Structures are given as structure tokens and as C-alpha cells.
């Protein structure tokens, strides 16, 4: 426990560190600035904005802002990107409640009861409970990261190449089990992602593979390019196709009466607690994340309710539970990234990209070699959650005004910013063209009920899996049974096989599909 407090002390010292800024217009005079606090605030504000404005999405925004992190110190860059991720979970509830358009995928379920509450003139309490639940869940999840960080890092140091490969297989199987829709389609997406990760040069020999003699593909496909296409451009095309000019009558009115009643707080307390626990667990699991956590929390509350018919008609529990769950999951998903170096979802995969840009190899070594980076990021989450509570409640009027911007003006500007972001990574026009192609691919995938997130997970884990597979076979002199003779590796492989068999069982598949259908109907 003493180590925990000393580590947290180091984290807060990193967050509140002052940096000397010497602007040219002041004639060489330096100004001390709390740079990490400012970057945390920027991340929280941008994240809230991303959540509020439908059609952008966290993945596209983080991909778009990756080039900006080139000029930032590693700690500040990761603090800002983390703020965007959990900030978007807060902001997504605003549009779900006021306009019935989820700004974030994790806020789909919030719209069911949140919008009904708004129509009954109770938009204020719905927004307040969403913010309070998010703040509580975020704080609890941050405590969990601090508590589990060091023990899991020690466990990770016992992992060899065979164990890492088996762990990544388990991560991809979890992504299949927890993905929405067909199991076969989820497997196809992961295989497609693994194939895309192999484009470029062989990691051992340097020989060109799957680049079709196209010079721009010699170094492989840019991770940010694929992410921007699949999640940014594809989402814009989908929104334009479905016609997002929905009824916005509620956002023309001023939101009043933000304070929830005593009854609201009493009714919400247990759902917030249950949502936090459920979200914290599902966030750690690879492939889980905020979306599945909010679905599961809503379904659980509906099952436990004395009168389930209230749900979908303005039940405050239907706002409190999913909002707490998606925020808890968003923050505990940092645990496998920081301790094992394995991203559990698409946004964390982008965080791996950000760490790689700064020459940081994610995994157990980071906590030992760069403790200020890890603990600085953990401490920043407490600060960020407090900022988000202030940003989301008193400033709700500003976010409502932003919702009045017509989509016909919003979408072209998003496309321009996305294109600038992609181009600035390598100054290559080909990257913008590739993102456009992947945008069309992503749109086709969405229309045919393929979920793109497992593809991105497969793409980021592909090189790591290949490297560990080759290392394990090299050490065992080509003996493939090494994955089943080492106890830890064999256990992980057995769990993977068991989960895949379970997912393919007709009864379980039907139950799994019901969770999504219930949450969306």
C-alpha cells in the first residue's frame, strides 16, 4: 500500500508539473505553465465535443489528432488522448438525451430512456444523473487501475513469447464473443485485420509482401489511415445515407432544472453502483469496452426492475446504469494496455500507435522504466473526471447550441479536418486516397452488418502476434507444441477454445443476440 501512495504521489507531481514557456512576443521572458493540466483540459473538452457532435466518433478523432502528438512530450500526449476517450463517453449522453442521436456508440442505450425523460420536461435531471454516474464510475475505475497496475505488471513479467501469443489469441477470441451480430462475420473481420497488418515488409527478412509493387505500400498500411477511413469517412457516409436531420425541437429550448430530486438520487444510486462494477469488469476484457458494458448494464437493470415496462418510457435507472458502465469500462480498458501492452479495443489500439510514435513499447517494462508516464496518466484521470463534471453540467447550454448546427455544414468540415489529419502524418496524398477507399469499404461493411472494430484490433495485434509466434518457434526449434506444453500458455489456449465453442453454441448465440436486440429496440 505504501508503494501505491508513493506511485500516486509521483503521478500527481507529474500532472501538476510546470513547464517554462518562452513566447517570442514577450522578448524572451518565460512563463511557467501547468502543461499536463492544460493538455488534460484540452482532451476533456475535445472529448466532450466529439461525444456531443454525432458523426465524428472517438476513434476517428484520436486518429485525426495522432499527428499533433508528434510535437508534444509523451506524458502530455497520452494524457490528452486519454482525456478525449473518456470525455467522449460523458459528451455522448448529451445528444442521446436531447436529440435521440447517440454521439458515441456507448450512449446508444442512454437514448432509450434519456430522450423520453427529455420529452417529459426532465432533460435536466437526466443530464445531471448521467454526469454524476459518469463521475462516480470514472473515479472508481481509476482506483482500480491504480490497485491492479503493479500486480498485473509483475504477472506480465513471467510471460514469454508463447504466453504473449496465447494471450493475444484470447484477446481476439473475446472480441469475437463480445462483437455484435454473427460470430462468423466477427472472425472474418479479425482475419481481414490480420491480413492488412501483414502488408509491407516481412518483420524478419525485410522482403516485400502483399504490396503489389506499389511504392506507397512498401512500409505497410498506416494505422491512422485505416482507422480514419473505417470509422471517420464511413460514419459520415452512413449518416448522410440515413439522413440525420432528425427532429431537434428539444434543443431549441433552454435546459432548466438541472438538479435531480431526492427520489431521482435514491432511484439512481444502486444502478450507478451496479453499472460501475459491471463496466469495470467488462472494460478489462479484450473486445469488451464501453459499448458492451452499457448494453449489459441496461439489460441487468431491466431484469432486476420490479416493473420492467417502465424502461423505454423515461426510467431514470435506464440513464444511470449504462452511463456509469460505459465510463467505468472506458477507463479500466487502460489496464491491459498499461500492464500487458495489449489493447482491448479499437481506441486503445490507437493509443498503442501514439506510444509507438514516441518510441514507447507498451507492456510491463513501461511501468518499471517510465513510471512517471504511467502514473501521470492514471493521476490525470482523477483530474480529468473532475474537469468533465464541471464542463458537462454548468456548460450544458453551450453544448446544446452546438447541436443546432445543421449537418449539411458539419459534415464537409469534418471531412476537411480528417483529410488534413491524415495528410499531415506522412505528407502523402496517397494516404488520403487510401482513407477514402477504406471509407467506402467501411460503409459496405456497416451496410452488410460487419462490425469494423475487430478488424482494427486484428490489425494492431497482427505484428505483435507474428513477432511472438516466430520468437516462440525459434526458441523451441520449430516445435509448435510449445504453446500447449507451457502451463500458462496452455491455460490461455484452453480458455480461448472454450469461449469459441460457447460462442458457436446455438442457445448461447441466441441469448447473446437478444442482449443487443433488447438494448436497441
Q: In which element (H, E) is residue 53 found?
A: none
For residues 288 and 402, the model is more confident at 402
Please give the average per-residue pLDDT across 290-300, as a whole number.
79
Residue 258 confidence (pLDDT) above 80: no
**Are 348 and 326 contacting, i.e. CB atoms less than 8 angstroms apart?**
no
Closest Cα to residue 260, out of 106, 409, 130? Answer: 130
Residue 226 confidence (pLDDT) above 80: yes
Which residues sit opposite 201 in a β-bridge?
A: 208
Q: Classify residue 245 by burial, with Cβ atoms within 10 Å: 0-12, 13-18, 19+.
A: exposed
Return the C-alpha torsion angle 301, 103, 352, 472, nearest 10. 50
Which of 142-146, 321-325, 343-347, 461-465 has the weakest average pLDDT?
343-347
Closest Cα to residue 138, out of 79, 80, 89, 76? Answer: 89
Q: How many CB atoms lie within 10 A of CB 191?
A: 14
Closest Cα to residue 215, out of 411, 26, 426, 61? Answer: 426
Phi first, then psi, for residue 32 (nearest 5°) are -75, 130
Distance between CA atoms of residues 471 and 213, nearest Å: 28
Please give the average per-residue pLDDT across 507-516, as a whole number.
59
Task: Report pLDDT for 420.
Answer: 77
Residue 273 pLDDT grade (very low, low, confident, very high; cuts 50, 70, 90): very high
DSSP, collapsed to helix, strand or coil, labels residue 21 as: strand
Which of 62-76, 85-99, 243-257 has the weakest average pLDDT?
243-257
Residue 247 pLDDT grade (very low, low, confident, very high; cuts 50, 70, 90): very low
- Return mean pLDDT, the chain: 79
**In the chain, domain spans:** 2-520
Residue 444 pLDDT grade (very low, low, confident, very high; cuts 50, 70, 90): very high
Residue 241 sits at the vertex; the CA angle it makes with 94 and 459, to the nearest 5 degrees, is 80
- DSSP for 127-174, written as a single string: HHHHHHHHHHHHHHHHHHHHHHHHHHHHHHTT--HHHHHHHHHHHHHH
Q: Classify residue 370 by burial, with Cβ atoms within 10 Å: 0-12, 13-18, 19+.
A: middle
Please give the DSSP secondary-structure letter assigned to residue 19.
E
| HSE value, Cβ hemisphere, 13 Å, CA-based, for 348 | 32
Which of 234-248, 356-370, 499-513 has the weakest average pLDDT?
234-248
Task: Report pLDDT for 276.
Answer: 92
- pLDDT tens-digit profile of 197-223? 888 888 777 788 888 888 878 878 877
Distance between CA atoms of residues 440 and 222, nearest Å: 17
Residue 272 confidence (pLDDT) above 90: yes
Amino acid at each position: 500500500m505504501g508503494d501505491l501512495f508513493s506511485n500516486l504521489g509521483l503521478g500527481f507531481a507529474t500532472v501538476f508539473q510546470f513547464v517554462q514557456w518562452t513566447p517570442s512576443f514577450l522578448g524572451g521572458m518565460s512563463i511557467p505553465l501547468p502543461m499536463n493540466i492544460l493538455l488534460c483540459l484540452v482532451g476533456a473538452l475535445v472529448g466532450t465535443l466529439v461525444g456531443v457532435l454525432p458523426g465524428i466518433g472517438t476513434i476517428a478523432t484520436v486518429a485525426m489528432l495522432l499527428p499533433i502528438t508528434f510535437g508534444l512530450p509523451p506524458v502530455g500526449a497520452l494524457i490528452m488522448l486519454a482525456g478525449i476517450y473518456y470525455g467522449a463517453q460523458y459528451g455522448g449522453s448529451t445528444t442521446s438525451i436531447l436529440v435521440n442521436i447517440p454521439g458515441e456508440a456507448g450512449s446508444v442505450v442512454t437514448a432509450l430512456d434519456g430522450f423520453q425523460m427529455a420529452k417529459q420536461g426532465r432533460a435536466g435531471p437526466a443530464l445531471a444523473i448521467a454526469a454524476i454516474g459518469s463521475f462516480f464510475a470514472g473515479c472508481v475505475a481509476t482506483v482500480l487501475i491504480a490497485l491492479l497496475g503493479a500486480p498485473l505488471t509483475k504477472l506480465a513479467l513471467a510471460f514469454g513469447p508463447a504466453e504473449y501469443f496465447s494471450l493475444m489469441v484470447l484477446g481476439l477470441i473475446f472480441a469475437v464473443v463480445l462483437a455484435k451480430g454473427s460470430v462468423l462475420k466477427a472472425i472474418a473481420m479479425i482475419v481481414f485485420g490480420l491480413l492488412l497488418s501483414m502488408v509491407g515488409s516481412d518483420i524478419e527478412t525485410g522482403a516485400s509482401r502483399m504490396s503489389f509493387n506499389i511504392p506507397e505500400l512498401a512500409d505497410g498500411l498506416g494505422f491512422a489511415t485505416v482507422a480514419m477511413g473505417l470509422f471517420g469517412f464511413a460514419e459520415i457516409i452512413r449518416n448522410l445515407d440515413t439522413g440525420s436531420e432528425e427532429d431537434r425541437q428539444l434543443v431549441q429550448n433552454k435546459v432548466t432544472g438541472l438538479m435531480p430530486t431526492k427520489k431521482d438520487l435514491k432511484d439512481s444510486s444502486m444502478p450507478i453502483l451496479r453499472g460501475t462494477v459491471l463496466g469495470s469488469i467488462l472494460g478489462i476484457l479484450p473486445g469488451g469496452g464501453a459499448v458492451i458494458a452499457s448494453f449489459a448494464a441496461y439489460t441487468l437493470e431491466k431484469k432486476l426492475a420490479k416493473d420492467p415496462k417502465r424502461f423505454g418510457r423515461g426510467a431514470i435507472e435506464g440513464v444511470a446504469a449504462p452511463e456509469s458502465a460505459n465510463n467505468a469500462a472506458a477507463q479500466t480498458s487502460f489496464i491491459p494496455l498499461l500492464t500487458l501492452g495489449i489493447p482491448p479495443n479499437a481506441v486503445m489500439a490507437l493509443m498503442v500507435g501514439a506510444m509507438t510514435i514516441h518510441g514507447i513499447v507498451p507492456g510491463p517494462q513501461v511501468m518499471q522504466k517510465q513510471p512517471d508516464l504511467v502514473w501521470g496518466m492514471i493521476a490525470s484521470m482523477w483530474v480529468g473526471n473532475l474537469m468533465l463534471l464541471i464542463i458537462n453540467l454548468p456548460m450544458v447550454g453551450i453544448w446544446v447550441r452546438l447541436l443546432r448546427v445543421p449537418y449539411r455544414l458539419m459534415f464537409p468540415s469534418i471531412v476537411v479536418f480528417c483529410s488534413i489529419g491524415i495528410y499531415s502524418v506522412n505528407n502523402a496524398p496517397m494516404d488520403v486516397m487510401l482513407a477514402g477507399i477504406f471509407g467506402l469499404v467501411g460503409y459496405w461493411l456497416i451496410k452488410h452488418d460487419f462490425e469494423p472494430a475487430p478488424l482494427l484490433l486484428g490489425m494492431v495485434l497482427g505484428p505483435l502476434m507474428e513477432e511472438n509466434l516466430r520468437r516462440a518457434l525459434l526458441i523451441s526449434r520449430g516445435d509448435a507444441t510449445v504453446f500447449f506444453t507451457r502451463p500458462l500458455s496452455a491455460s490461455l489456449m484452453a480458455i480461448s477454445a472454450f469461449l469459441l465453442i460457447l460462442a458457436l453454441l446455438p442457445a448461447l448465440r441466441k441469448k447473446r443476440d437478444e442482449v443487443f436486440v433488447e438494448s436497441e429496440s
